[in-house]
Amino acid sequence: MTTPGKMQMRDMSADPAPTTGSGGRRRHRKPKPVSLAARRTLVLAVAAPVAGTVFAGPSAFAADKSTAATRASTAEESNGLDGGDQQIAARLNTRVDDQRLGTNVSGVVLDAASDKVIWGHNASTALMPASNAKLATATAALTVLGPDHRFTTKVVYGNRTVTLVGGGDRALTQDDLAELAKTAVAGLTSAGVTSVKVRVDDSLFPEPTPANGWKAGYYPYTIAPVRALVVDGHSVMDTSMDAGQAFAKRLAARGVTVDGDVTRGQASPTDVPVAQHLSPKLSTIVSRMLKVSDNNIAETLLRMTALAAGQPATFEGGTTVVREVLSRRYGVQLDDFALYDGSGLSRANRIPAATLADLVGLLTDPRYKKALRPILDGLPVSGEAGSTLGPEWGRFDDPNSQCAVGKVSGKTGTLTGAMALSGLTKGKDGRWKVFSFVENDSMANPADIKDAMDGLAATVNGCWA
């Protein structure tokens, strides 16, 4: 987790790159598009009312459904933008030149129902996406593993040794270890075992290595070396041994003597299971990862997704699966797409804004409602305390963007020299807009860049006229 006092760098990546249209703008493209009415219905039906009015809910949508349908029909017949969208485009054309954003800016705004491009600026240019890369990681994990998937942490016993076996559960807590110890001790004492050695087995993942594009100073606070075992999300160099030592203390507290130091080694196939713990559902884990932009969760999910798809639990294995899922499952193009990790910390990552908008656009497709809803639930809401769009991060507190508090749902991304914001908002015309803005290389103060970018989102919402 990131705290306001020590901002960790987090990022996300997406894979698609829509077709370039006139003026260098890319058109949002999905396979076998469904009817406008069906997609309009989903945009609100799939969205939970997290904070403010960012998602009004099905009942509110029903009231303006006919009006929205009329607007959609009129706009499509003219094959152009209605007056409100023309105003949004005109204002963005001016505001994207804000000196705080610098000169290396990419952006796109789409109508969520029709996929029509409302506005684009260097939308096909691939830039460093920062934590917006987590959108791709989340999409792949939910697709391959399923939102109801749970990760298993096991305790096995054999040859006077108790082994804590990591299963990629980044949500494991001290209380969970206490329950594992309680169950394990009950079995051990019933078998007359009162003294054991303790070891950890984190062999599910290979020995940790940094990703291409990671800074040397990332370990262990921006991100810990990626291992299959961790407790309470501790940011330490060896999370597995840290968890093993905490578990050994729990065993000792229940009367079992722990012989020697905790060691690392693989459990034997003949070891007897004595306890296990299941993580929360993947849907909950993904939503948490996006809400606070947790780098450690993202990298663990990348490896667990790789394993589930038959690939090695490495950066290469995970990003290969991400590309396969985005291109083959969702028809997302991969032009100018480069992804080297699951968190977006890599400074070698490159993703166009049009691609990031495509990823957000998947959330408005009824076919993907069940699988991808946790992403929509997890997107931070403008002004939502405890999220990366909260006031503690200085978001949507500028005079130009305060009007959009509670009205924008989006994924943030922040690295030195890169900032991004991609998400959804309901415009003044009652229609949902998908947007993505990415800047690289601005020399302005990060707080000023945030204000400028939040202003772009408020422009799409229409509250900043």
Whole-structure pTM value: 0.85
At 424, which helix (H) or strand (E)? strand 418-426
3-state secondary structure of 118: strand
Q: For residue 307, what pLDDT is reported? A: 98
Cβ atoms 418, 128 nearer than 8 A? yes
* pLDDT band, residue 124 (cuts 50/70/90): very high
Q: Does 433 score more than 70 pLDDT?
A: yes
Residue 109 within any structural domain of the chain: yes
Q: For residue 134, what pLDDT is reported? A: 98
Q: Compute the distance between CA of residue 313 and CA of residue 311 in angstroms, rounded to an integer.
A: 6
Range of the domain at 223: 152-280
Same domain, 166 and 91: no
Give the number of domains in the chain: 2
Residue 303 within any structural domain of the chain: no
Q: Does 423 score more than 70 pLDDT?
A: yes
Identify any residues that bridge with 152 across adjacent strands, giving them in sequence order: 278
Strand locations in 33-151, DSSP E? 105-111, 117-121, 126-127
What is the pLDDT averaged over residues 74-91?
74
Q: Compute the distance between CA of residue 351 and CA of residue 385 in angstroms, rounded to an integer.
A: 28
**CA 120, 121, 126, 127 torsion: positive or negative?**
negative
User: Hey, what are 6's tokens?
Assistant: 């020590």
Residue 208 within any structural domain of the chain: yes
Q: For residue 333, what pLDDT is reported? A: 85
User: Hey, what are 146's tokens?
Assistant: 């399923």
Q: How many residues does the chain have?
A: 465
Residue 35 within any structural domain of the chain: yes
* pLDDT band, residue 58 (cuts 50/70/90): very low
**Per-residue pLDDT tens over the stretch 318-328:** 999 999 999 99
Q: Does 249 score more than 50 pLDDT?
A: yes
Q: Compute the distance between CA of residue 49 and CA of residue 173 in angstroms, rounded to an integer.
A: 29
CATH number, domain at 197?
Answer: 3.50.80.20
Q: 114, exposed or middle or buried, with CB in 10 Å at 0-12, 13-18, 19+? A: middle
Residue 7 within any structural domain of the chain: no
Same domain, 166 and 135: no
Same domain, 333 and 419: yes
Same domain, 165 and 61: no
Same domain, 235 and 173: yes
What is the pLDDT averaged over residues 435-454?
98
Do the strands 161-165 and 126-127 form a parallel or antiparallel pair, or are they unpaired? unpaired
What is the pLDDT averaged over residues 209-232?
97
Same domain, 29 and 79: yes
Same domain, 268 and 289: no
What is the pLDDT averaged over residues 33-39?
35
Same domain, 387 and 265: no
3-state secondary structure of 58: helix
Q: For residue 428, what pLDDT is reported? A: 93
Residue 378 within any structural domain of the chain: yes
What is the pLDDT averaged over residues 85-93?
97
HSE-up of residue 236 (Cα within 13 Å, Cβ side):
12
| Closest CA relative to residue 2, chosen from 346, 289, 339, 283 | 289
Same domain, 289 and 426: yes
Residue 244 within any structural domain of the chain: yes
Q: For residue 80, what pLDDT is reported? A: 80
Q: Which residues touch 191 (CB under 8 Å, ≥6 apart)?
A: none
CATH number, domain at 24?
Answer: 3.40.710.10
**Per-residue pLDDT tens over the stretch 352-411:** 999 999 999 999 999 998 999 999 999 999 999 999 999 999 999 999 999 999 999 999
Q: For residue 141, what pLDDT is reported? A: 98
Q: Does 13 score more than 90 pLDDT?
A: no
What is the pLDDT averaged over residues 163-174?
98
Q: For residue 81, what pLDDT is reported? A: 87
Q: Does 29 score more than 80 pLDDT?
A: no
What is the pLDDT averaged over residues 100-114?
97
Same domain, 56 and 200: no
Strand locations in 193-336, DSSP E? 195-201, 257-258, 263-264, 272-278
Q: For residue 77, what pLDDT is reported? A: 36
Q: Does 40 score more than 60 pLDDT?
A: no
Same domain, 137 and 156: no
Residue 3 within any structural domain of the chain: no
Same domain, 123 and 234: no
Percentage, residues of the chain above pLDDT 90: 80
